[in-house]
């Protein structure tokens, strides 16, 4: 038997293999202990921590209290934000109170601006409508009287607004809202105003001739 095949040689080879394996396992354990950190004890779910996980994190960490200067700065910032919000609310309250007090004037101004932007027929166009509506009542003979009367009152301007009274429109209804009985568009529609004015003349003076005669004596009708 040769020296290479002796039992002693085989036993020595087996021992060498065992030692190599043990050395490899030890190195692996050492690598895990030294080279890699422990997996986190708390796992995030969809980027959010549960209350239990947050509590566990606080208990396991060495969280230090905020510095006094940091806390003071945060408190001052919160106080400034509070004062800013309080001032904004007070400003909004005063603005609302002012608007409520002046609502009528504001609404009237807006209505006037809206009215001014609407198409405005010429006095000749309005006069032509008045002549036709006057003739429809059988008052052809009184057309010169009506033409002169409303020329003096408003110059046939459907938006004529008397600055000394609430008289408004072609017939100078007083107040102008009286003409709403002839139509909701009484502020801008010449036909609506003329219809109302002719009805007023008929009820009080019988026809435009009578209304013009009264106006000549009194400067109003």
| Residue-wise pLDDT tens digits, 68-108 | 887 777 788 888 888 898 899 999 999 999 888 878 777 75
Residue 92 belongs to a domain: no
Residue 106 belongs to a domain: no
When divided into structural domains, the chain yields a total of: 1
Residue 11 belongs to a domain: no
Predicted local distance difference test score (pLDDT) of residue 113: 63
Residue 54 belongs to a domain: no
Answer yes or no: pTM beyond 0.75: no
Predicted local distance difference test score (pLDDT) of residue 33: 45
Residue 57 belongs to a domain: no
Predicted local distance difference test score (pLDDT) of residue 173: 97
Predicted local distance difference test score (pLDDT) of residue 126: 96
Our measurement of the distance from residue 118's CA atom to the centroid of its chain's CA atoms, rounded to an integer in Å, reads 26
Residue 144 belongs to a domain: yes
Predicted local distance difference test score (pLDDT) of residue 118: 63
Predicted local distance difference test score (pLDDT) of residue 218: 96
Predicted local distance difference test score (pLDDT) of residue 102: 79
Retrieve residue 161's tokens. Answer: 């607004």
Range of the domain at 151: 124-218
Residue 44 belongs to a domain: no
Which residues of the chain have a pLDDT value below 70? 1-49, 55, 57-64, 108-119
Residue 35 belongs to a domain: no
């Amino acid at each position: 038997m040769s020296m290479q095949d002796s039992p002693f040689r085989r036993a020595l080879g087996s021992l060498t293999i065992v030692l190599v394996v043990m050395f490899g396992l030890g190195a692996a354990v050492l690598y895990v202990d030294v080279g890699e950190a422990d997996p986190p004890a708390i796992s995030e779910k969809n980027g959010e921590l549960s209350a239990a996980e947050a509590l566990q994190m606080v208990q396991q960490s060495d969280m230090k209290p905020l510095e006094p200067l940091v806390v003071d700065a945060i408190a001052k910032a919160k106080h400034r934000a509070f004062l800013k919000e309080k001032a904004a609310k007070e400003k909004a309250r005063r603005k609302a109170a002012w608007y409520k007090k002046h609502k009528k004037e504001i609404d009237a101004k807006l209505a006037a601006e809206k009215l001014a932007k609407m198409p405005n027929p010429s006095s000749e166009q309005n006069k032509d409508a008045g002549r036709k509506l006057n003739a429809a009542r059988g008052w052809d003979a009184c057309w010169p009287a009506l033409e002169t009367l409303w020329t003096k009152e408003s110059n046939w301007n459907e938006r004529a607004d008397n600055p000394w009274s609430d008289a408004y429109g072609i017939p100078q209804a007083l107040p102008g809202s009286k003409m709403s009985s002839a139509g909701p568009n009484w502020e801008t529609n010449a036909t609506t105003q003329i219809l109302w004015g002719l009805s007023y003349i008929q009820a009080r003076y019988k026809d435009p001739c009578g209304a013009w005669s009264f106006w000549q004596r009194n400067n109003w009708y």
